[in-house]
Amino acid sequence: MRRQRVLRGLVFGIIAAMVLATAQPGPSQAQASRVVRELVLVTWPQAQNPQQYESARIAAEGMRQLGLKVTVRTMPWEQLADYVWEERQKWDMTTWQMVGRPERSDPDEILVNLFSSSTAKDGYNFVGFIDPKYDGLAQAQRSATDPAARKHLVDQAQQVLADAQPYTFLVNPKSLYAYDNQVWDPHTIVEQKGIGIKNFWTFVQAAPKGAQKDMVLNALDPILAINPLYISGKVDSWITELIWDRLVRIGPDGLPRPWAASAYTWVNPTTIDVTLRPGMRFHDGTPVTLDDVIFSFMAPKGDKVPMYKPFVANIADIKKVNATTLRFVLAKPQAAFLTSTLGKLNIVPQHAWGPMLQSLEGKKDNAQFLQEKAPVGSGPFRFVSWTRGQEVVLEANPQHWAAPKMHRWILRTVSNVEASLGGLRNGEINFLSDYLGDPMVLNRLSRQDPRITVVASTDIGFQFIAYNERRPPFNDVNLRRALTMAIDRTMIRLVAFKGYGEMSDSPVSKALEYWHASRLPQYSRDVQAARDLLKKAGYEWDGQGRLMYPASQSETLEVAR
């Protein structure tokens, strides 16, 4: 009897427990609403950009060790750029790169344009990083005309970013380039600090040694636009800086020098006089006037040229001093004005772009949706043709004061790394301008074929993983720090970049020795320390090892499909 009573008690207890379990949420149900959803890391396809793809794969594995479900999704460059740039509420994280451009020899563009809250809506701050303290530092360094004081502010801004980790900084890559030394005189190939040999000065000065006078280059990414008022990607920028002149160019030494401006003079810390070079003409034969220059710098102050708006925001007025000279009046001192503004903006013909911008009035579209049938600039190269997805052809402008020595500049889209290498091997390409393959393969080709000269340069640019702070959990600095600690960045440098790069810890490249801050936190890989950081911040793990939000939070977003 006693045994029967015990059994009945056990049965009743089990039934009661089942009733209670169905009558109210159990711990597992409550936990389920706190489990961090599947996170998607978008990147380039492996064949198009093996470095980015491999970086994403290694990074995702580190993230999974924190109890996160991470999916790596590939997209062709055109689709990826549009998704990240235009759909800012939808994506989680992406591998990305800031390429080395001459005007980035000064840290101002990177510090202000990438991370200022003013550019979060539709500018380069695509991750939505908002920090009032950082905004103050970024703007203050602009106004600091004393070099030591500015250096201190730049260092402080880098420290804020190192603490906040809006990106996981991966590497400053060593960019690899190669050219046929039987086609191009090596003495006329120019290496620019932090840029390499693929630069404006090489394209203007490269001298052919024989009958082949066309420089044929490759690009892994297709051209998205040829538009002087839209910064649409690294490859597009190679083209725009050749077709359109700028008042100032950044020399091979990284310092600004007069270009379309024959001279410039600082009148006081907020006033600079600029003299336009005489005799300049646009490719359609019309003269370049002071009005064209004023238009080029004032048009971006409106909302229809958002990509260039940050670079002209400090211009209070532009006045004509005489028939050849303009006076730029700044709202406040700007230490990097020569580099980040005069060396950044393209001079465009008002007679062409005035009506085009006027056509956008009352519409949501901006300048990035405009495309001239035959782009017209005043630069050392003239537009000839653009076959989308295949090639762009430019020809030397013989009327230019710095007329190139080559006949044509032909950029071919070759989206496969191996095909690019094959093109160099068989002579279809004589300047390898975009190579992301194995450095040892390229070096071996150079040893086997004495025609091929290879040059490696540490880049101003950097590779990184960007976190969309508009979407939880990436709005939590503890989560971002933990991700950086979990990612094996050393493996990324060694495997994805084959050792051709330096570990990055800041948006200011180590190639810029003076500006790069020392003693920044390094976030060495330590998965246990990352988990401890999350635990201290209130995160927990369920019975399946899945990361859960702190008790006061729950998942609110669905994975963007």
pLDDT in tens, 318-348: 999 999 999 999 999 998 999 989 999 999 9
**Residue 249 one-letter amino acid:** R
Per-residue model confidence (pLDDT) at position 25: 45
Give pLDDT, residue 232.
Answer: 78
The whole-number pLDDT of residue 378 equals 98
- Residues 6+ positions from 361 with CB-CB distance below 8 Å: none
Residue 10 has a pLDDT of 41
Q: In this predicted structure, what is the pLDDT of residue 29?
A: 55
Q: Give the per-residue pLDDT at 84.
A: 94
Question: 89, 471 in Cβ contact below 8 A?
Answer: yes
Predicted local confidence at residue 19, as pLDDT? 33
DSSP string, 69-102: -EEEEE--HHHHHHHHHH-TTT--EEEEEE---G
**Residue 208 DSSP one-character state:** B
Neighbours of 22 (CB within 10 A): 9
Token pair 């653009």 in the structure block, residue: 386
pLDDT at position 23:
40
Tokens of 446: 């150079």
Q: How far apart (Å, rounded) are the C-alpha atoms in residues 446 and 425? A: 10
Please, are residues 326 and 338 in contact by the beta-carbon 8 Å criterion? no
Going by C-beta distance under 8 Å and a sequence separation of 6 or more, which residues neighbour residue 356?
367, 370, 372
What is the Cα–Cα distance from 427 to 258, expressed in whole angstroms? 36
Residue 387 β-bridge partners: 391
Length, in residues, of the chain: 561
> Measured in Å, how far apart are the chain's first and last C-alpha atoms?
62
Instruction: For residue 271, give both structure tokens.
Output: 């006033």
**How is residue 225 written in tokens?**
């636009």
Amino acid identity, position 477: V
- Mean per-residue pLDDT pooled into runs of 10, the chain (561 residues): 39 38 47 89 92 97 98 94 93 93 86 94 93 96 88 97 98 92 97 90 97 96 92 87 97 91 95 97 98 97 91 96 97 92 97 96 91 96 96 97 98 92 95 90 93 91 96 97 98 93 92 89 95 97 96 70 37
- Using DSSP's 3-state secondary structure scheme, residue 416 falls into coil
Please report the pLDDT score of residue 31 as a whole number.
Answer: 64
| Residue 414 tokens, joined | 């070759």
